[in-house]
Amino acid sequence: MFFATLIWIQENSTKIKMAQELVRKGAPKTDIVWAIQLPQLRA
């Protein structure tokens, strides 16, 4: 059985810094997925 753990990062002004911090702390780059959310759907 295969389990995948993905880290979803919603698009906002901090997405780049957040991804860099996750990688610096050891998260594999391949586990980071950009979640694109249309502006009209954002809270």
In sequence order, which residues have a C-beta less than 8 Å from that of residue 27 and are 6 or more positions away? 7
The pLDDT confidence band at residue 40, using thresholds 50, 70 and 90, is low
Tell if the pTM clears 0.85, that is, is over it.
no
User: What are the boundaries of each domain within the chain?
Assistant: 7-41
The token pair that represents 28 in the structure block: 């594999």
pLDDT for 29 equals 81
pLDDT for 38 equals 61
Instruction: State the average pLDDT for the chain.
Output: 68
Of the candidates 13, 12, 14, 17, the one whose C-alpha atom is nearest the C-alpha of residue 35 is: 12
Q: Render pLDDT for 5-32 as a digit per residue (tens, 0 to 9).
A: 656 666 555 566 777 888 888 988 887 7
